[in-house]
Amino acid sequence: MAYKFQNISVLVIESSRALFTVAKDVLTTFGIKEIHSAYDIKKGFEIFRREKPDLIMTDWLGDKNDGLTFIKQLRTDNRSPDPFVPVILMTGFTHEDKVIAARDVGISELLVKPYTALSLYNKIESLIENPRAFVRTRNFLGPDRRHKRIASFSGPEKRVMEPLPVRR
């Protein structure tokens, strides 16, 4: 038995057409048949609303951080058809402040460019097999950002101290 990738649809938002072509070739080889494309966030959000893809892969999209704006929009905009859609952010940035900025708008996975077919597959597999619970606060909706416990934290909102209500 193997993944039935032919059943899932993906929206790829890439500012570079060349990189979109590469991503499409890799996804097609994986067996994904329904691949939508957009080159900016306006078109991306339009396609997201119309096609309701099962997975979104987006680029950082320019020095105005449009990719992050897009992710924030799909998580919080009341026109978003699925605020819980898994999102892979593809970027060449790996510096801590950029990763934190991406995490704080609600990415599901970060795929570092240049990537390989295996690294892309691993991200998709992780979203299938180990989807993270979402956290909703006054200012945030996105996958749980706690990957590790910060022992030095002692504020009143340290969530490990009080169990959270779980909604299904």
Partner 1 sequence: MTEPQRSNRAELISPQKKLKEKAGSGGLDRKIIAKAQTQLESNTIDFKPIGLHLIRVIDEAIRDIKSGKLQGKPAITRLLYPAMELKAQGTMFHYPLVTDISNTLINFLETVTEANDDVIDLVVGFKMAGQAILSKSLTGDGGAVGKELRTALTDAYTRFHKDKK
Candidates 40-48, 57-65, 72-80, 99-107; binding stretch for partner 1 (CB under 8 A) = 57-65
Q: Considering only residues 33, 42, 50, 159, which one is a binding residue for partner 1 as defined by CB under 8 A?
A: 159
The DSSP bridge pattern shows strands 9-13 and 34-38 to be parallel
On the 0-12 / 13-18 / 19+ scale of CB atoms within 10 A, 165 is: exposed
Our finding on whether 8 is near partner 1 (CB under 8 A) is yes
Contact of 37 with 24, CB cutoff 8 Å: yes
Q: Which of 79, 147, 148, 168 binds partner 1 (CB under 8 A)?
A: 168
C-alpha angle with apex 140: 136 to 142, nearest 5 degrees? Answer: 70
Which H or E run contains 26? Answer: helix 17-30
Residue 2 makes contact with partner 1 by CB under 8 A = yes
Selected from 147, 148, 154, 165, the binder of partner 1 by CB under 8 A is 165
Half-sphere exposure at residue 143, Cβ-oriented, CA atoms within 13 angstroms:
17
**List of residues contacting partner 1 (CB under 8 A):** 1-5, 7-8, 16, 18-19, 21-22, 25-26, 29-31, 54-55, 60, 62-63, 84, 86, 90-93, 95, 97, 113-118, 121, 125, 127-129, 131, 133-139, 144, 157, 159, 164-168
